[in-house]
Chain A
Amino acid sequence: MASFEGRTALITGAGRGQGRSHALRFAERGADLILCDIDSDLDTVPYGLSRRSDLDETVELAEAAGARVMARVADVRDTAALDGLVADGIDSFGKIDIAVANAGIAGISTVAEMSDEAWGNMIDINLSGVFKTLRAVTPHMAGRGYGRMIATSSIVARQGSPNIGHYVAAKWGVLGLVKSLALEMAENGVTVNAVCPTSVDTAMIQNEAFRDLFLPDRDEYTLEDVERAYTELNPIPIPWVQPEDISDAVLFLASDEARFITGEAVPVALGWNARTAA
């Protein structure tokens, strides 16, 4: 298994879920960490986002795994906050080797009924937030001639999906951004890739709004009903993967074993992608 001893990884959205899992897996393999998350909710997101206390807990766990950690509340929509995080991170650890643009939100609405605000928040966080995160580390990585950037897209970025058109559009956009940046960074020793998860067992889907979306005709349902509905999406018949399963792919892309993989989107998707072109 790849070692990340002496490496520094920046991870956005690290307060919980996949971001926390990536942080802990990098920590266990020897990396130091620069982490951020938001500390407030959004009107257009039908479930709560991380709190400062979530991020603090990630820090505690990562430190217990042996990592040095710099963490702060920073919104990926805020260019100054991200640039400051990167600058201070480089001050603390000397460099950033790996950047994981993971922070994201979900929302539910048909395109016909979607508000400007719902669309705007989605694009601002899930697409522009990835752009701002990756841009913030680009000069540093290009200058050092080394870097591994990984963005979290989604398997819905291989198709259309009703009721989450803004999410789908943002995640397709992430792939376009990743591939273009991969071409721009190719001469600089920097690879840029994406992971495309199917449903992941995190707060993003384990909430009432998403359960209602999956079982629209039911007033009452059990967890089993929910699992059955999610399982129908996946050729490998389980409802969702765990955050650690996504970390496996992220760590592979960050390792030396993937040195000649760039501009790629790796689907950790229980075979969903077997039904799509890519």
Chain B
Amino acid sequence: MGRFEGRKVLVTGGARGQGRNHALRFAREGADVAVIDSVAGEIETVPYPIAEPEDLDRTVELIEAEGRSALAEVADVRSAEQMDGAVARIAERFGRIDVLVVNAGICTFGPIESMDRDLWQTMIDVNLTGAFNSVRPVVPLMLEHGFGRIVATSSMAGRAGWENIGHYAASKWGLIGMVKSLALEVADRGVTANVICPSSVNTPMMHNDSSYRLFRPDLENPTMEDALPAFQSVNVLPVPYAETDDISDAVLFLASEEARYITGATLSPSTGVNARNV
């Protein structure tokens, strides 16, 4: 029997990548799963394609193939209005939301000294305000039921500085500050809130030309083969990246009964990058 039998789970950014995998893993362990994604194909300032509508359809198919109910809502996490509406419709159908995975995010690149204002702003809007917009309508529902598990995806860049992604680092540090504060606010009412901090993960966010260029600034058109050793050099365990299943393992642990007394914590399935950190 799965650990999440009968639970209702909501995953943002669930059309593909880590979000899709979290959704499937929860479904496999007995949960009904709703996913929210903007599936806009592209988003200003982001140099790689984000998810398409077909990706979201595919996630729904895969959840249903696990024998569980799936719900999908198209919403941009930057829009409080869209998120409030999407969450309300999901809550209406599911009756409640037990687990929220705050996962939607983008990654762009540039040094602070010459960063375009809109590169900064879009990052903060999606990764930080988007996380707030995701949490805000869900927390009251959880408090009403006296139960909730929130897991938000930060990054090892949320625990340290990192050249050329200062805006991403700021958004991911900010996310940890929000989640720790939220954890304190709801600790006496049955809701936990935690953060996972991956290093590189095998998803489209990592596998694209601009990310290869971040890791190999010395080459004009680096390929994946060029970039892999550089990815690996950031990590401590001798692997270039974690698989989405490794991140899901940590997310599901934090959402499980076994972690009921863990809140306001960061957990780093980061292949050991955190060994160099606090």
Q: Is A263 an interface residue (CB 8 A)?
A: yes
Check: A267 CB closer than 8 A to any chain B CB: yes
Interface size class of B (residues with CB under 8 A): 35 or more
Bound together, the chains give a CA A257 to CA B251 distance in angstroms of 11
* CB-based contact B262/A263 at 8 Å: no
From DSSP, what is the main secondary structure of chain A's interface residues? mixed
Q: When the two chains form the complex, which single residue of A183, A261, A270 contacts B268, counting CB atoms closer than 8 Å?
A: A261
In whole angstroms, how far apart are the Cα atoms of A271 and B190 in the complex?
A: 12
Q: How far, in whole Å, are A79 and B145 apart by their CA atoms in the complex? A: 53
Instruction: Indicate if the CB atoms of A270 and B267 lie closer than 8 Å.
Output: no
**Number of A residues, CB within 8 Å of B:** 38
Q: Pick the residue among A257, A263, A268, A274 that contacts B261 (CB under 8 A).
A: A268
Shortest distance from the beta carbon of B97 to any chain A beta carbon, whole Å: 20
Task: List residues of B (159-195) whose CB comes within 8 Å of A's CBs.
Answer: 180-181, 183-184, 187-188, 192
Separation of A273 and B270 alpha carbons in the complex (Å): 20
> Chain B contacts of A263 at CB under 8 A?
236, 272, 274-276
Contact call B271/A237, Cβ cutoff below 8 A: no
A195→B271 CA distance, assembly (Å): 17
Question: Does B266 interact with chain A (Cβ within 8 Å)?
Answer: yes
Interface string of A231-242 (1 = CB under 8 A from B): 000111100010
Q: Enumerate chain B residues within 8 angstroms of A266, measured Cβ to Cβ.
A: 262, 265, 267
Query: B243-278 interface mask toward A, CB cutoff 8 Å, 1 = contact, 0 = none?
Result: 000100110010000111111111111111011111
- The residue of chain B having its C-beta at the shortest distance from the C-beta of A248 within the complex is B258
Asked if B143 is an interface residue, CB under 8 A from chain A, the answer is no
Q: Which residue of A lies closest to B197 (CB)?
A: A264
One of A234, A237, A257, A267 near B262 (C-beta < 8 A): A267
Please report A residues at the B interface, Cβ cutoff 8 Å.
1, 179-180, 182-183, 186-187, 191, 198, 234-237, 241, 245, 248-249, 252, 257-264, 266-275, 277-278
- 12 contacting pairs across A/B (C-beta < 8 A): A179-B274, A180-B275, A198-B261, A235-B183, A236-B192, A245-B261, A248-B259, A258-B249, A261-B269, A264-B274, A274-B264, A278-B278
